[in-house]
Amino acid sequence: MAPAPQHEHAAGLPAFPDPAAADPALAAFLQQASEQLSHWWATAGLRPPLPSLSVLPEVPPRAQGLSADALLENLQLVMDGAYNPCHPGALAHLDPPPLTASVAADLIAAGLNNNLLAEELSPSLTRLERCLTAWLAARLGLGQGAGGVAASGGSLSNLMALVVARHQAGLQGRADALVFCSADAHVSIGKALAVMGLPADALRPLPVDGRGCLEVEALAGALQAAEAAGRPVLAVVATAGTTVRGAVDPIAAMADLCRRHGIWLHVDGAIGAVFALVEAHAHRVPDLGLADSLTVNPQKLLGITKTSSLLLLRRPELLAQCFGTGLPYMEPSWADAHGGECGLQGTRPAEILKLWLGLHQLGLDGVEAVLTGAVQRRRRLQQLLDPLPLELRGGPLHLLAFTPRGLSPAEADRWSGHTRQQLLERQLMLSRPLHAGRHHLKAVLGNPYTGEAQLQAIAACVADSLSPLAAPVHP
């Protein structure tokens, strides 16, 4: 006879799944939670992208557990105050609506409660991670034998890449090692170097050209100067899709310089690398395959539920060479190394499951359709804003930033704050990055429900915001 269920509370929701029988109360609870979520999605258009302050449920737990109904009511209060990425006017950040199959896979991964730390805790999922990262790495051009590991976010992928680069270069303990990147590289590169114990001036940002791409001449000069000064270079970082405008650095020329100087090239493709998954868009991010390591964030444009990031390497065995500890409390790995030996994280959720299921839901044609839609929306917004007296900062991807021509930094700050507010009142949410010394407004056009109406409304609101600026100033 099965043992009596433990920890069952008054309302019948079992604390743990019964291993011997289906439990109707548990099934009903999951069903109701899922209906609540479906309703939240289905009413997203009725709520603004950014909700006003909402009531939080009681935070400390009571002595007695709550009923299933009370749990769901409290969940609803948190949901009511959540950012609303499904609203067609949600255009501020790199956070699109969730890809539906990845939501289901996230639930299943949570229910399986496997651990990517070691194979005996995640036998099928570990193999899935190895095989899918190898497939993706080859697809993105890193070659047969390439592969990698999932990491919880692009910042962590970038950090692990730089730790591996330093290990490979044998520069551990050298406080004088340098990293070169463009002035528009993501802040996570500087954060990674700080975590690695390097001084702030270890990061050497280099100028970008008028399209926001790193100037190769500047890199060539900087590498030569470092060599002449006897300063070791730990890595060069190229960005495939910068955070504000989606610019793509000249990877081939950078790789060439790196090869000549024997330096590791990391490509931060957190935004742009997914474009190389399909032939129709691969030209937007050329030469990713020349990287030694590559960050890819399917959580951004593809909508795989957070977090979903990968660090891919031409030589994936370098991960375990760098991070391996022998995991003395585990059975040996059946292959090359346990998941927990391939990066900084120990216990890890099976993030690979939602990426795999999401890619299968879309298919490669579906991936292409997502990318095409995003690029078309960026082009259309650019077309609508083009006649206005704005500095438009775009690139080949799905991001577009802009600021009025000729404003001082203080004026651009005021204009962007005011205009963002005007947009929010029309249920259009853009972000307000400080870029090249001046505030801009930025639209990320990855939301598939953003249509002509929203794009027209943005252009109209921005045009209105510019008329007071054009008015003659009376002394």
Ligand X SMILES: Cc1ncc(COP(=O)(O)O)c(C=O)c1O
- Interface positions with ligand X (CB under 6 A): 94, 153-155, 158, 186, 188, 239, 241, 243, 268, 270-271, 297, 309
> How far apart, in Å, are the Cα atoms of 324 and each of 158, 164, 233, 320, 346?
18, 11, 24, 5, 11
Between 82 and 225, name the residue whose CB sits nearer to ligand X. 82
Residue nearest to ligand X (CB): 154
Contact 169, 175 (CB under 8 A): no
CB 448 to ligand X: min, Å: 19
Contact 165, 266 (CB under 8 A): yes
Collapsing DSSP to helix, strand or coil, 148 comes out as strand
Between 122 and 188, name the residue whose CB sits nearer to ligand X. 188
CB 300 to ligand X: min, Å: 7
Between 242 and 333, name the residue whose CB sits nearer to ligand X. 242
In a 13 Å sphere around the CA of 356, the CA atoms on its Cβ side amount to: 21
CB 275 to ligand X: min, Å: 13
Collapsing DSSP to helix, strand or coil, 117 comes out as coil
Rg (CA), the chain: 24
CA distance 82 to 67: 23
CB 203 to ligand X: min, Å: 14
Tokens of 170: 């044998």
Contact 450, 384 (CB under 8 A): no
Contact 266, 238 (CB under 8 A): yes
Between 309 and 465, name the residue whose CB sits nearer to ligand X. 309
Helical (H) or strand (E) element with 259: helix 251-261
CB 105 to ligand X: min, Å: 19
CB 401 to ligand X: min, Å: 13
Angle, CA of 373, 374 and 380, to the nearest 5°: 85
CB 356 to ligand X: min, Å: 19
CB 431 to ligand X: min, Å: 11
Between 154 and 404, name the residue whose CB sits nearer to ligand X. 154
Between 276 and 462, name the residue whose CB sits nearer to ligand X. 276
Q: For residue 65, with 0-12 CB atoms within 10 Å meaning exposed, 13-18 middle and 19 or more buried, which class applies?
A: middle
Between 309 and 333, name the residue whose CB sits nearer to ligand X. 309
Closest by CA position to 453, among listed 385, 381, 403: 381
